[in-house]
Chain A
């Protein structure tokens, strides 16, 4: 990697991350849509858990899941289907004719989205914890942080892979995102430990990195309770997340090149007449 390539890569990354970060401060509607609305859903689960007399840690499962939903939504709508929107607005062709790395553009999108989403997720976590008096006590801070980081790398790697796949499609990308949204809420166990769905469903759902990430984080928050509900040991989940991170980033890079070439041949990188 030459020095000038490295500099352009970094500048691209920062440049593309910028709109996502600045959007956080300029468009405050996220407080309603990304904090208040998810909290309503979380509330429903918290009250169900309370109604059946579940231990208070179960409210913690729901609040943590509610916070992590922000990342899934971000990956689905602002990563996977992003290139479709960029094509619609005419940005995509400008990205593609620029003498920069496409991975830098995707990474910029991912890092900007991740940072902005972390603020949203922290909002859900904070308000949810205070509102429902959720007990949160991390047993191993470093490990918890490691699980979170690896979950994010794998999740956004998946987002980058999907965005390169979606490059070929038009409105179908939008429909696919819609199709993925709700089922993942269920199968990844956003509001309950995923083991409740059975081993094979949980194993299949583990292709979405947030499934394992949530399970591992819950184990580190509530070790005693999670002994009964855990899917896999934290170490195993960490190892799988590391593997998924490498796999998704590698596939994203390959996919981007492959689908870009294919879309260039088929004339699908731009709208007709644009």
Chain B
């Protein structure tokens, strides 16, 4: 695809950091942060970049946001070359980073957001309208007049999220936006992102995360990056399918001592296993078609069985990462 048809396009993008002598790691004076990364992100996509700490996610975002130049290769944002015309790129973007402490503690939430809006030339009245609207969407309407140094880290991150969306950017870079946040705040932010894209279908988000569930839950497509290299890029469902690992339905039953003989041979069942787990009968089924599950449950219930719990065990992106890299995601902490 041509660069102008993509929201973001990179071609063989490489970044090497040269270290000073005293910063050398194991005698090495260079770090290869990005290794010939080629990506195409389409307008309207929520694209995820998934990788452990130090994988190169932030380096890629910094290059796209015009904060860093690549060592070689090219990058285009909204069809504009980030090295040749960074000023034009900035008209199309905004960025939010996880754990950000930006703004001034002495100013209120509203004043901080207003200040950043001024840098984008948004008239004060319009800025204040958008601030009110967005703060209410993230549940912070009552905090508009609170000074920033009185905010918790979760509230502060919500404010940062509002700052990023306030300018209604065509392309938004979210670099680990839920990093270190509690479950509830992270969920609020994810819901907000989803809703915003729903309301603005032509806008594009590039999200970096090392939370698998976040990538799975939010992204249309995910690229898995490790040690500066893109290892795979597809919708989360496809990535998981690529493992050729089948979905297992696990049924926990009460009131039955044997379920296997009851359902064995039923159409739609490809494999079947039975065991007792914590005193409960557990039946594992691999189905050729998911509709077969209804027939199986009817038969078991007719025989006096009561379904206590049903689990669908699918391969996760963690399994995809393990298969691609040969080690677990959590083993990569920097």
A residues neighboring B (CB under 8 Å): 4, 7-8, 11-12, 14-16, 18-19, 22-23, 26-27, 89-91, 93-100, 105, 264-265, 267, 269-270, 273-274
Cross-chain contact A90 with B97 (CB below 8 angstroms): yes
Distance to closest chain A CB from B151 (angstroms): 14
Identify the stretch in B101-109, B243-251, B297-305 within 8 Å (CB) of chain A at 4 or more residues.
B101-109
Cross-chain contact A18 with B111 (CB below 8 angstroms): yes
Identify the stretch in B63-71, B203-211, B324-332 within 8 Å (CB) of chain A at 4 or more residues.
B63-71
Distance to closest chain B CB from A11 (angstroms): 4
Checking B69, B87, B90, B121 against A7 with a beta-carbon cut-off of 8 angstroms, the contacting residue is B121
Checking A4, A15, A96, A270 against B115 with a beta-carbon cut-off of 8 angstroms, the contacting residue is A15
Interface residues of B in 78-113 (CB under 8 A from A): 87, 90-91, 93-95, 97, 100-104, 106-107, 111
Cross-chain contact A99 with B90 (CB below 8 angstroms): yes
Provide a sorted-by-A list of 28 A–B residue pairs whose CB atoms are within 8 angstroms: A11-B118, A11-B121, A12-B118, A15-B117, A16-B115, A18-B111, A19-B104, A19-B107, A22-B106, A23-B106, A27-B106, A89-B103, A91-B102, A93-B95, A94-B95, A94-B102, A94-B163, A96-B66, A97-B93, A99-B90, A99-B119, A99-B121, A100-B120, A105-B119, A267-B68, A269-B67, A270-B62, A270-B68
Distance to closest chain A CB from B80 (angstroms): 12
Cross-chain contact A15 with B66 (CB below 8 angstroms): no
Q: Is B58 an interface residue (CB 8 A)?
A: yes
Cross-chain contact A89 with B102 (CB below 8 angstroms): yes
In the complex, A26 Cα to B111 Cα: how many Å?
13
Cross-chain contact B101 with A89 (CB below 8 angstroms): yes
- For A15, the chain B residues whose CB sits under 8 A away are 114-119
Distance to closest chain A CB from B5 (angstroms): 23
- For B107, the chain A residues whose CB sits under 8 A away are 18-19, 22
In the complex, A15 Cα to B117 Cα: how many Å?
8
Cross-chain contact A18 with B115 (CB below 8 angstroms): yes
Distance to closest chain B CB from A133 (angstroms): 37
Q: Which residue of B lies closest to A5 (CB)?
A: B121
Q: Is B198 an interface residue (CB 8 A)?
A: no
Cross-chain contact B120 with A99 (CB below 8 angstroms): yes
Interface residues of B in 29-58 (CB under 8 A from A): 58
Q: Rank and list the top 6 A-B pairs by shortest CB-CB distance, nearest first.
A: A15-B118, A8-B121, A98-B119, A99-B90, A11-B118, A90-B102
Distance to closest chain A CB from B265 (angstroms): 57
- For A269, the chain B residues whose CB sits under 8 A away are 67-68
Distance to closest chain A CB from B112 (angstroms): 9
Distance to closest chain B CB from A168 (angstroms): 13
- For A12, the chain B residues whose CB sits under 8 A away are 118-119, 121
Q: Given that A18-B115, A89-B101, A98-B119 are contacting pairs, would A264 and B69 also be in contact in the complex, using a CB cutoff of 8 Å?
A: yes
- For B100, the chain A residues whose CB sits under 8 A away are 90
Q: Given that A15-B114, A90-B97, A264-B68 are contacting pairs, would A95 and B103 also be in contact in the complex, using a CB cutoff of 8 Å?
A: no
Distance to closest chain A CB from B104 (angstroms): 5
Q: Which residue of A lies closest to B118 (CB)?
A: A15
- For B65, the chain A residues whose CB sits under 8 A away are 93, 97
Q: Which residue of A lies closest to B108 (CB)?
A: A22
Q: Which residue of B lies closest to A94 (CB)?
A: B102
Report B160-186 CB contacts with A as 1/0, cut-off 8 Å.
Answer: 000100000000000000000000000
Report B117-142 CB contacts with A as 1/0, cut-off 8 Å.
Answer: 11111110000000000000000000
Q: Which residue of A lies closest to B68 (CB)?
A: A267
Q: Which residue of A lies closest to B91 (CB)?
A: A99
Q: Given that A96-B67, A98-B116 are contacting pairs, would A4 and B101 also be in contact in the complex, using a CB cutoff of 8 Å?
A: no
Given contacts A8-B119, A15-B115, A23-B106, 15 further A-B contacts (CB under 8 A): A11-B118, A14-B118, A15-B117, A16-B118, A19-B111, A26-B106, A89-B102, A89-B103, A90-B97, A94-B102, A94-B163, A98-B116, A264-B66, A269-B67, A274-B58
